[in-house]
Amino acid sequence: MKTKNPLLYIGLIATLIFSAGPIYFMLVMASRTNNEIVSLPPPFWVGGKLSSNVDRVFDNPDVLFGQALLNSLIVASVATVCVVLTSSLAGFAFAKLKFRGRNAMLLFVIGTMMVPVQLGLIPLYMLMTKLGLSGGLESVTLPFVVAGFGVFMMRQFAEQAIPDEMIEAARVDGASTFRIFFSIVFPALRPAAAVLALLTFMERWNDFLWPFLTLDAEHPTVQVALSRLSSGYYSDQSLIMAGTLVGTLPLVVVFIVFGRQIIGGIMEGGLKA
């Protein structure tokens, strides 16, 4: 039976307006001229300048926006593939293999989720400089090719999704652990791996503080390029908003296509933690 309480729906619609409002506002601003934006009352409807504003974002030599989109795509994709792989391997081991020190190691993994990596910013910066990676894309990719959250999530999933008998049977048939992982376990982990991939991709795409500190002018990611757009000496609001819109669009598309899985993943992750 569906609820008929109209109050609930009114509350939900209000929430939705609050949620989507600023994003709609971004679209409106991105489609207007600067003069229209700085007028009262502010414009409420989408205007006709969207494509010319977007063109101006890509033409701006100070921010290298096209390059930034590509860079973000590379950084986020590499991190995603690595996180899914390393998390699946470790998650499977923690869930299904017995080894000395397992519990202590798992506790450590959970502990890493509590400690923000950002607190080690300064030595990380020094380390990257020593390794000669400072300024380039490696410096914002390498620290994020593993994730405690991912290991934990894959472990929770592996525990339920893979019957012990299946592993035993494969062992009796003479399969090595690696063989078992690649031909039985990994395929079974696919649904969780997909969710982890989506969450990781979004997180890396949105990463700001560390890329902001370490990347040099020639290698911006989208978020760094956005901050450059908005912190210049001039402030061209329609340009900034058009850039913000383009930088957010890939995520909105991913979200619309995979929203159900993403929500499932977040709810699952929170429940177990």
Partner 1 sequence: MRIRDRFAKTEARVAPYAFVSPFFIIFAIFGLFPLIYTAWVSLHDWSLLAGDQGYVGFANYRELFHDSDFWRALTNTVGIFLLATIPQLILATVLAQVLNAKLRARTFWRMGVLLPNVTSVAAVGIIFGLIFSRDYGIVNWGLGHLGVNPIDWQGHRWSSWLAISVMVDWRWTGYNALILLASLQSVPKELYEAARIDGASAWRQFWSITVPMLRPTIIFVSIVATIGGIQLFTEPLLFGSGVNAISGGNSGQYQTVAMYLVQQAFTGQRFGYASTVAWVLFLIIAVFAVINVALLRRIKSVE
Show contacts with partner 1 in window 220-239 (CB under 8 A): 222-223, 226-227, 230-231, 233, 235, 237
Asked if 255 interacts with partner 1 (CB under 8 A), we say yes
Q: Which of residues 195-214 bind partner 1 (CB under 8 A)?
A: 202, 205-206, 208-209, 213
Stretch that binds partner 1, among 46-54, 57-65, 174-182, 187-195 (CB under 8 A): 174-182
CA–CA separation, 238 and 38 (whole Å): 10
Which is closer to partner 1, CB of 59 or CB of 209? 209
Which is closer to partner 1, CB of 4 or CB of 61? 4
Q: How far is the CB of 92 from partner 1 (least distance, A)?
A: 7
Cβ(132)–Cβ(67) below 8 Å: no
Candidate list 78, 117, 166, 184; residue touching partner 1; CB under 8 A = 117
Asked if 166 interacts with partner 1 (CB under 8 A), we say no
Peptide bond into 41 cis (omega under 30): yes
State how far the alpha carbon of 69 is from the alpha carbons of 128, 142, 145, 221, in Å: 23, 19, 20, 7
CA–CA separation, 246 and 29 (whole Å): 13
Candidate list 145, 161, 184, 188; residue touching partner 1; CB under 8 A = 145
Question: 């690696």: which residue's tokens?
Answer: 178
- Helix spans in 120-189 (H): 121-130, 137-141, 148-161, 164-172, 177-180, 186-188
- The pattern of x and - marking residues 176 through 195 that bind partner 1 according to CB under 8 A reads xxx--x--------------
Cβ(195)–Cβ(265) below 8 Å: yes
